[in-house]
Structure 1
Amino acid sequence: MRYYILLMLTSLLWAGNFVTGKFLVGHASPLTLTDLRWAIADIFLVPVVWISDKKLFPPLRALVPLVFMGLTGVIFFNVFTYLALTRTTPDNVGLLSALNPIAIAIASFIFLKEKLSVRQVIGMVVSLCGVVVVVTKGRISGLTHFQVNSGVWLMLAAVGMWGLYAVASRSAMKYVSPYMATLWAGLLGVLFMLPFDLPKLTSVQLNTPFWSSILYGAIGGTVVAMILWNIGIQRVGETKSGMFLNFNPIFTAALAYVLMGETVHVSQIVGTLIVIAGVSLFAIPKAHKRLIRQAA
């Protein structure tokens, strides 16, 4: 159960990233923001890895999955998401991001031969329905106007990248800790981005709110969140961890209400309950059965 709580906290931290991101995109390019955020995060991750692992360098056999983590989770997921936002509405992007758990399940099935039970499939569907209720504010009929444009395809590509990132994370953490995996995925991602970012490095109004938001994104929304996410991947698996991504739009709505004064609709409360029911159906029963077997 404690790992499920950690995954809930991960979702909350990422939701904070979305809220601060609305402010940051007006100050620098998406590539620059991603590069800067991960560069700062790596600085903070170095002492964490040194204290926990007593070393900074991974074994060579971990290099390939770490490279894939950097490419898929650090670079392509963020780049595709930002590009999608320039070509379609945030509602469309938010709705498609709810497919992340399904992408993880499919990637795990294809590459790791991880099976899904009927109960888990039902839990995925129920949770996805809850996210749809939240994103559409209860106006399900609005899905009929969901146009398949280039932004939709880009966001689908981002979702696919996240599924691949989850699988790469599991492979990397056969050889390194979640802390080292996060550090090296970030370092490799930054190194890959720099040649493309430096020639076009542009930013404006680098004031205190900007740096406060960047530091939150680097420390809370990247270092802490990615460590907790990788721990979740390691302890409960890709598919179960992915189910908790469905809380992202819900926590985002709550933080937007508290920090930005946005209205919370009844549909968001209903959608939250549906998501919780779906996640519980997917993950909790199996943990409960383990407790029963241990007690016996």
Structure 2
Amino acid sequence: MKTLLGLFFTFLWSSAAIATKFGLNSTTPLVLATTRFLIAGGLLFLYVYILQNKYPWPKLKEWRSLIILGLLNTTIYLGATFWALNYVSAGIFNLFVTTNPFIVAFLSFIWLKRSIYFRELMGMIIAAMGLVIATWPTITGGDNNLHGFVILGIGMTSMATGSVYFKKVNLKLPSIVINTWQVLIGGILLIPVTYILEKNVYFLNLDFYLYGSLIWLVFVISIGTMILWFYLLKQDTVKANNWLFMTPVFGYILANIFLNEPINVFDITATFLVIVGLFLSGNIEIYFIKKFLKGNRRVSSETSRNIK
């Protein structure tokens, strides 16, 4: 079940890049990001505290953690990744996404005293090798920009820090309440950043691309996928972040279907290595083998009873 949830999360998470590509036809990155977060946060607030009216309000001591999570996971991480698309290619963006588990594992080792097992380390290294292969044509294409690398690095570090911080503070609030305030606070904090960075390049076209992008990003990603993300984080912070290794795999498939981007031998080789890496790190459970072995044990047990 955890494997299916992890794969489903990765599929949805990778679809955000496709929706963003459509949205960028109609507006600038930070305007799109800010609009997405404010709409999602507002709708979540309406549902949680007006329509349902059964969820608790954060206590005074919990507001500090919610503000920090909103700043790290929404304002800095998503704001930085949207903004970085002005400077780097999608391939480089996917490569940077996969660095998150390494940062999380390192921070968890320091803050949470969580051991990094040899199997996890080998799995992450093999998966990372696959992702380097997948993005090698982009890396050697000469279209990289130092600004983009710095911005993406800040974003990935912020998300990893937010993941470890969430595990450390162990908020007792329901996941939907945490996500509501994280998205809403993050969106509000992003408003002045958007104004400063995009005031001279701002444009907004109210068309099909914008509406379709916002509907998917708000309802599927900011609301549904983030609730699933918090659930996975509560199970295991490092393993949850390791699922991000699959993001480029699903990303290539979705990009091929919706954006007509080709899939080459680099992508196929990378897919194989990523799956091997996930298996070694303990993220992929061999469900059917376990079920088969469980069935064999049941048959053997019944046979033994019959013999007796």
Bin the TM-score by the shorter chain: 0.7 to 0.9
Q: Is the Cα–Cα contact under 8 Å of residues 183 and 222 in structure 2 kept in the other structure?
A: no
Whole-angstrom CA distance in 2 between matches of 1:8 and 1:224:
14
Change (3 A) 1:29 1:240: same
Query: Where does 1:274-289 land on structure 2 (aligned, <5 Å)?
Result: 274-284=273-283
Change (3 A) 1:63 1:286: farther
- Tell me the percent identity: 22
Task: Give the TM-score, by structure 1 length.
Answer: 0.85
Q: Offset at 1:148? A: 7.5
Change (3 A) 1:276 1:286: closer
Amino acid across the alignment from 1:33: L
Aligned to 2:257: 258
Change (3 A) 1:187 1:148: closer
Whole-angstrom CA distance in 2 between matches of 1:196 and 1:148:
21
Aligned to 2:154: 157
Q: Offset at 1:29? A: 2.4
Change (3 A) 1:192 1:24: same
Q: Offset at 1:230? A: 0.7
Q: Is the Cα–Cα contact under 8 Å of residues 85 and 151 in structure 1 kept in the other structure?
A: yes
- The correspondence for 1:177, drawn from 153, 170, 174, is 174
Aligned to 1:222: 222
Q: Offset at 1:61? A: 2.6
Whole-angstrom CA distance in 2 between matches of 1:27 and 1:10:
27
Query: Where does 1:1-296 land on structure 2 (aligned, <5 Å)?
Result: 2-46=1-45, 49=48, 54-136=54-136, 149-197=146-194, 200=199, 202-235=202-235, 237-284=236-283
Change (3 A) 1:226 1:172: farther
Q: Deviations over 1:80-126 (max 9, x none)?
A: 22333333333333222220111111121222221111111111111
Q: Is the Cα–Cα contact under 8 Å of residues 66 and 168 in structure 1 kept in the other structure?
A: no
Whole-angstrom CA distance in 1 between matches of 2:73 and 2:38:
15
Q: Deviations over 1:37-74 (max 9, x none)?
A: 11221234236645889224122232222111111110
Q: Is the Cα–Cα contact under 8 Å of residues 66 and 169 in structure 1 kept in the other structure?
A: no
- Mean Cα deviation higher: 82-91 or 59-68: 82-91
Q: Is the Cα–Cα contact under 8 Å of residues 92 and 146 in structure 1 kept in the other structure?
A: no
Aligned residues between the structures: 287
Change (3 A) 1:127 1:146: farther
Q: Offset at 1:34? A: 1.3
Change (3 A) 1:193 1:84: closer
Q: Offset at 1:285? A: 8.0
Q: Describe the SS at the equivalent of 1:253.
A: helix
Structure 2 unmatched ranges of 5 or more: 298-308
Q: Is the Cα–Cα contact under 8 Å of residues 4 and 232 in structure 1 kept in the other structure?
A: no
Q: Is the Cα–Cα contact under 8 Å of residues 135 and 249 in structure 1 kept in the other structure?
A: no
Aligned to 2:302: none
Whole-angstrom CA distance in 2 between matches of 1:285 and 1:149:
35
Q: Is the Cα–Cα contact under 8 Å of residues 44 and 223 in structure 1 kept in the other structure?
A: no
Q: Deviations over 1:16-48 (max 9, x none)?
A: 110121121232222221111112212342366
Q: Is the Cα–Cα contact under 8 Å of residues 62 and 175 in structure 1 kept in the other structure?
A: no
Cα RMSD for the two superposed structures: 3.0
Task: Give the TM-score, by structure 2 length.
Answer: 0.82
Whole-angstrom CA distance in 1 between matches of 2:258 and 2:55:
40
Whole-angstrom CA distance in 2 between matches of 1:14 and 1:285:
18
Whole-angstrom CA distance in 1 between matches of 2:286 and 2:55:
34
Change (3 A) 1:6 1:194: same
Structure 1 unmatched ranges of 5 or more: none
Whole-angstrom CA distance in 2 between matches of 1:148 and 1:35:
24
Change (3 A) 1:286 1:52: farther
Q: Deviations over 1:171-226 (max 9, x none)?
A: 45432122111111111112212344468494422113311111100111211111
Whole-angstrom CA distance in 1 between matches of 2:12 and 2:74:
16
